[in-house]
Structure formats: structure tokens, C-alpha cells
Amino acid sequence: MSGSRRSSFSLLLALLPFAGVAFAPLYLAPYHLLLTDRFLSLGILAMGIVMVWGHAGVLPLGQGVFFGLGGYAIAMHCKLVALAPGELPDFMLWNGVEALPWWWKPFASSAVALTAAVIVPALLALVLAWLVFRRRTTSVYIALITQALALAFATLLISRQGTTGGFNGLTNFDTVFGAPLAGDRTRLWLHLASVGLAALAYVFARAIGATQAGRLVTAVRDGENRVRFLGYSPAPYKILVFVIAGAFAGIAGALHTLHMGMISPAMVGVVPSIEMVVWVAVGGRTSLYGALIGTVVGNLAKDRISSEWPTMWPYLMGLIYIVVVIALPRGLSGVVEKATTHG
């Protein structure tokens, strides 16, 4: 009894900062608020990476794909609602496309777009995970295959300019669900949605970790064969976390697209996908909270530093990759944990 009370107390404590961020419009300038919201949505994706990488031991290097699917689903909807009946999105006209492709049509409905932003990435994650985990593909192979997937996805988006917006992606949308995207009220709602969904994702991921399935996920990471010898098949548990991470990435992509007012292949390819992983590594690959903070703070720092010293940034970023892996394998949350348990 006291154990469960303690755990619900620690959950409340963990949710406190979310409440603090929810009130951010009162104390943050609009520009910084927008940045925080964007990175908070990336934090949802980061928690998915923690489940797959930190808990299940499989490094996903293609999360940008699922992020992109969620983002493009919403972006297509935003493009379509701005049109009068029978009209085509601007970039299609420029590219000489004459009729709306069939797979664009359902996205005119906001319900379809919102559902698709979660379901499509989750389904793709399911198919991919089923294919690779079923045959005991090693985690190194999975890392490389997901990376190839990110490359293929970005290449495909760029090459289909007439239906995907190509290199520029989907941009120039100004209304969402009937409200102006830049309006104060919309901004507030989007902010609250980001904080709320991040908190929800955190609670969900934490709850999954506490179930038997969640324990088996970590058991698979630490000794896959032992789990097999105990009579479990590891594949379903790996598939489960991979699908959850895919759905998280889709939600993140949808939110991020609404905050940015655009989505483009540059946000979904190989480089952004691996960057998402490195912020998780900085925060701590096994800690949901660490990954969330690592992603938000890391991206804020990146935004500041890369605009002040653009040529220095790649060196610094490269150094971060190396230092985190060699000196801080458990990230900043590992440092904090060490300090609090021994100090």
C-alpha cells in the first residue's frame, strides 16, 4: 500500500514541472515560447526513443520517418482546408498537377488527418518491427536499416515534388481547425496541447514500464537468450515498444508541424533522425525525463549557438556525440543519479 502511495507521489512530483511549463505563456517571450513548444513536441518523440533504445536496447535511427508521417498528415490537412472546393494546393499548380491525388483526398477531414497522424506511423512501425524482430535481426542491423529507411523516405519526398512539395516541403498554411494558425488563442491552445500530450506520453510510457510487458522489455535488452530460455518470445515486446515509439513520433511530428507552420524533408532525413537520438543520449538513454530535458535544453542551446557561430556548431555537435558516448554513457541523468545516491 505504502509502495503504491510512494509511486503515485513520485508521479505527481514528476508532473509538477509540466504544470510549470503549462504556465510558460505568462513568463516567456512569444519567440522563446514557440521554441519551447517545438522542442517539447520533439521531447515526446525522445521518450519513444528511450523506450526503444534505453529500455529495449535497439537503436532506432529512422524516427524522422514516423515524425514526418505525422507531420505531413497534418500539413496536408492544413493545405486542403485553406482551399475552395475544386481548387488545388499552390505547389501542385506550380508543378502542373491537374487533379488531387487520391491519397490526398481523405485528409480534407480533420478527424482523418488527426487519426492518420498517429495511426499511419504506428502501422508502418508495426510492419517494419514485425519484419525485423521476427527473424532475430541483430540490433546493429536494425539501426542501419532504419537509417536507410530515413534516407529512402527523404529521397522519395524530395523526388515527388508535385504531390509532396518536394525539397521545400509543405508550407504556407495559415489556418488550423478553422482558426488562424498565428492567432493568440490558437497559439495558447497549441501550447497547452503540447504540454498536455508530453505529460500524457510521459505517464503512458512510465505506466508501460511498470507492467509485466515493460519489465520483459528491459529483460530482453539485458539478456535476450535468457528471456527465450524462460519461455518468452522476445519479439512481441520489442514490437510493442517500437510501435509506441512510432506513434509518439507521429504525434510529435503533427505538433511540431503546427508550431513551425511547415514540414520539409530536411526535418525527417538521416541527419535529423540521428540528432534526435543524440539528445536522448545527452539526457540519459534510460531516463524518460532525462531524454525530455535533454531534447528541450539541447535544442534550445543548438538554436542559440548555431545562429551565433554557424561554422563552429558542427564541431561542437561532433564533440557532443563523442563526449557523451565515451564519458557519459548514461547521460546527464546518470550524473544526477550518481550525485544524489552517493552525495
Q: Which of 322, 339, 340, 342 binds another protein (CB under 8 A)?
A: 322
Comparing CB distances to another protein, the nearer of 310 and 343 is: 310
66: closest CA among 201, 229, 263? 263
Contact pattern from residue 200 through residue 239 relative to another protein, giving x for each residue in contact according to CB under 8 A and a dash for the rest: ------------------------xx--------------
340 binds another protein (CB under 8 A): no
Give the per-residue contact string, 26-65, with another protein (x = CB under 8 A; - = no).
---------------------------------x-x----
Strand positions, DSSP E, the chain: 175-176, 179-180
Q: By CB under 8 A, is residue 263 in contact with another protein?
A: no
* Residue 136 in contact with another protein, rule: CB under 8 A: yes
- If one counts every other C-beta atom within 10 angstroms of the C-beta of residue 322, the result is 9
- For cell 535511427, name the residue: 61
Q: Does 141 bind another protein (CB under 8 A)?
A: yes
Nearest-10 Cα torsion for 139, 145, 149, 152: 160
| Nearest-approach distance from CB 144 to another protein, in angstroms | 5
Does the protein bind another protein through residue 111 (CB under 8 A)?
no
Closest to 66 measured CA to CA, from 232, 293, 254: 254
Binding residue for another protein, selected from 12, 19, 83, 156, defined by CB under 8 A: 156
Place of cell 509538477: 16
Say if CB 281 and CB 331 are below 8 A apart: yes
Bridge-based pairing of strands 175-176 and 179-180 is: antiparallel
Which residue from 83, 196, 314, 338 is in contact with another protein, where contact means CB under 8 A? Answer: 314
- Residue with grid cell 482558426, as numbered in its chain: 179
Query: 180 φ, ψ to 5°?
Result: -65, 130
Residues that bind another protein (CB under 8 A): 59, 61, 128, 131-132, 134-141, 143-145, 147-149, 151-152, 155-156, 158-160, 224-225, 270, 274, 277-278, 281, 311, 314-315, 317-322, 324-326, 329
